[in-house]
Amino acid sequence: MIQQQVARIIEQYPKGKLSVLIIHEFVIGGEVSDSERQLSVGGTSHIEANILSQFDYVAIGHLHQAQRAGYDHARYSGSLLKYSFSEVKHNKGITEVTLDDNGFVSSLHIPLKSVRDMRTVLRYSA
């Protein structure tokens, strides 16, 4: 279903214009954390990255770690906060994206520092 919707968008979008897709989906190959739940939208729980290739930039939600999704121009923003101990080492932040008139995309990760960060403390008892 999602593949059909994306194909329809590509077909109808005016050629020669910048195209940005905003989607909330699991792209196969993404790195998950313990706090994410299985998601099924539009009859599918995951998509392949190749359906994102024709857009100038793809902003993706769902996974909590900022990461690329198959292409440099397709990225998960990640969550702003840490929601499980599997996210202790995540570098939380926001992504600033710049597109120029020629379709060149650049992105910059701007780190956020939490007032109270999460950490794992190991205690050993004798």
Which CATH homologous superfamily contains domain 2-111? Metallo-dependent phosphatases (3.60.21.10)
Q: Chain-centre distance of CA 32, in angstroms?
A: 11
Q: Which two tokens stand for residue 68?
A: 């690329």
Please report, rounded to a whole number, the percentage of residues in the chain having pLDDT higher than 90. 18
Whose CA is closest to 49, among 58, 40, 41, 38? 58
Model confidence pLDDT, tens digit, residues 4-41: 888 899 999 888 888 999 998 888 888 777 776 665 55
Q: Residue range 33-52: average pLDDT?
A: 71
Domain boundaries along the sequence of the chain = 2-111
User: Are 91 and 79 spatial neighbours (Cβ–Cβ below 8 Å)?
Assistant: no
**Amino acid at site 50:** N
